[in-house]
Amino acid sequence: MSDDPVKRRLQAAITTLSEAVPSSRRHPPLGQAGVRAWETAHDVELPEPYRTLIAEVSNGSLTGPSTAHGLLPLGGLPESWQHWEAECWLSPEPFDGTASREPAVPFPLEEEWQWEYDYYDHDEHSPLLHSIYRHGSILLGSSRDCEFWILIVTGPQRGRVWWLGDGCVAPFVDAGAEAEPEVDFVAWLQDWQADRGWWCQQ
């Protein structure tokens, strides 16, 4: 085993992630060359351990045993991303699902943000909402038509998982400044693949 503590953490994380995604539910890995090509095309370096997971273990996964909790392949979008349903949101249309995403542009938030329709100012808030949905992240999956999970790939929240929901955007966990981002992703994927998160009870 490597004496490098960073490499040891990565090896441990990949072992845990591999156990969370059974071989029967894995898509073929993308390979290091495939990941580098995507990174070059989008001018961004993916965070670990997600990067090694999709390169060497599984580029996405099949759905879970009871719900549609499959991990999207790199750059993939859930079908529900392509349209906007008015009843899902407490604000005007927050994003154009057909617009190109820009993962190299920093994700704009560092803490949870909730908004309500009565206090929504289109001129002030719409640019921020569009940025939340388009910048600094990749899509991991969708809980329901209006709820999405993203992995932040650029900016201060790099490596952390965030939830985009009905009138709210929030980190998967309220991680302290000293917490390791890779632990956040590992914990999320374990719950996601096992269909045991709070979203399963909705």
pLDDT at position 192: 86
Q: Which residue has the higher pLDDT, 199 or 104?
A: 104
**Please, which residues bridge with residue 171 across strands?**
162
Domain extents in the chain: 5-201
Encode pLDDT of 9-38 as tens digits.
889 999 999 998 989 989 999 999 999 999
Chain-wide mean pLDDT for the chain? 83
pLDDT at position 160: 94
CA angle in degrees (0–180, nearest 5) for 56-57-58: 115
Residue 202, classed as helix, strand or coil, is coil
**Mean pLDDT over residues 58-73, rounded?**
79
**Mean pLDDT over residues 134-158, rounded?**
90
Q: Is residue 113 scored above 80 in pLDDT?
A: yes
Cα–Cα nearest to 193, from 74, 16, 11: 16
Amino acid symbol at 179? A
- Cα–Cα distance list, 49 to 43, 138, 160, 183 (Å): 19, 14, 11, 9
Q: Is residue 128 scored above 80 in pLDDT?
A: yes
DSSP string of 85-136, one letter each residue? -GGG-SSS----TTSPPBTTSPP--SS-EE--GGG--HHHHHHHHHHHHHBS
Q: What are phi and psi of 87, to 5 degrees?
A: -70, -10
